[in-house]
Amino acid sequence: MIGIFDSGVGGLTVVKEIFKYLPDYQIIYFGDTARLPYGTKGENFVKRYSSKISQWLIDNNVQIIVVGCHTSSAWAADSLKEKFDVPVFEMITPAIKDIIEATRNNRVGIIGTPGTIKSASFKKKLLEKDSNLKVYSQDCPLFVPLAEEGLVDGKITSEIIEKYLNPLKEKRIDTLVLACTHYPLLEKSIEQVMGDNIKIINPAVSVAKNIKVFLESNFGIQSKIEKGSDHQFFFSDEPYNFEKISHLCFDRNIKIEINDPF
């Protein structure tokens, strides 16, 4: 089983890519809706709950953990990799290669929550691989509530996107990384503001492709979904606007359970 967690419902955008690339594998999802948002919390808090949730997933027999939340990936993934024996996939490392391949002028923009941007994890990992890059970062805190209200296009949304992204446009970036679970929901509007010449990278796609390669070469991992069983979605409190967000991500109906083990 693939265990995946996020601070809430945004991780469904990561599940969407996992369903696309790994349709045969069973997943167990945990959204920490009782404690979200993670994006404005401190490093220690995010580390503590990312660790508790990972342990809970392991107790539920997952064979790999996907840190679907970018803020957890930024603050906590390195410590999770050290602490646990199961393979941990986070949202940053798999995207690095795709970003470096995408940029032509070496000018890259990273957008994410205040926590993700403050951690500078993406920037550090990119510069470790290619010190010629110019990496410009911008937090976009209003994107999460916009996506959760289903305001993924229209005038207000475009104006907010322009406010955050015009400074990146001025830096002449040619590649933009959507380093937050919610931002792929705004992708079309972001594209309209940034123009056709910008390549947009959704790290969830890079992660799903990486997991596929990993699972296919590790035959010992029995994650294939069995007939009669189903994916499981747990939330630590009622998820806000779940139907709206799940329908923005996929066509299927998802049955959820509310359970706060902490």
Interacting residues toward ligand DGL by CB under 6 A: 6-8, 10, 36-39, 69-71, 113, 116, 144, 180-182
Largest Cα span, the chain: 53
* Nearest distance from C-beta of residue 131 to ligand DGL, angstroms: 26
Active site (catalytic) residues: 69, 180
Residue 241 in 3-state DSSP? coil
Which secondary-structure segment (H or E) carries 8?
A: none
- Tokens 């957890």 sit on residue: 72
User: Is 92 or 211 the residue whose CB approaches ligand DGL more closely?
Assistant: 92
Contacts for 252 with CB less than 8 Å, ≥ 6 apart: none
Q: What DSSP state is assigned to residue 109?
A: E
Between CA 211 and CA 243, with CA 255 as vertex, the angle to 5 degrees is: 95
Strands 64-67 and 27-31: unpaired
209: closest CA among 18, 3, 74, 10?
Answer: 18
Q: How far apart are the first and last CA of the chain?
A: 22
Torsion sign across C-alpha atoms 109, 89, 125, 104: negative
CA atoms within 13 A on the CB side of 11: 30
Residue of minimal Cβ distance to ligand DGL: 39
Lookup result for tokens 């002449």:
172
- Please name the residues in contact with 170: beta carbons below 8 A apart, sequence gap of 6 or more: none
Nearest distance from residue 172's CB to ligand DGL, in Å? 26
By C-beta, is 63 or 70 nearer to ligand DGL? Answer: 70
Residue 134 has φ and ψ, to the nearest 5°, of -110, 115
